[in-house]
């Protein structure tokens, strides 16, 4: 016998959003994570390398 589990309306827990991966074309210049090497943004999306973020120096991109 199988039980069907349903979300209870008693609990106001937010639904988890799904994360989708979009791969950049091979050979294109891109910026990636220094730790996991995940592609983050195409080089063409770079707006400024001299941006000042709340935590210090940062790169500013049009889209990531």
Dihedrals φ, ψ of 43, to 5°? -60, -30
Residue 33 pLDDT: 87
- Over residues 18-32, the pLDDT tens digits come to 666 666 777 778 888
- Over residues 44-62, the pLDDT tens digits come to 999 999 989 899 999 999 9
* 6 pLDDT above the threshold of 70: no
The structural domains of the chain, with segments of one domain joined by +, span 29-63
Q: Model's pTM, two decimal places?
A: 0.55
Residue 9 pLDDT: 52
* Cα atoms in the 13 Å half-sphere on the side-chain side of 1: 1
């Amino acid at each position: 016998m199988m039980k069907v589990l349903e979300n209870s309306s008693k609990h106001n827990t937010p639904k988890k959003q799904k994360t989708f991966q979009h791969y950049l074309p091979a050979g294109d210049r891109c910026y990636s994570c220094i730790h996991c090497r995940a592609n983050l943004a195409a080089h063409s999306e770079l707006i400024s390398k001299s941006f000042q973020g709340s935590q210090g120096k940062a790169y500013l991109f049009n889209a990531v």
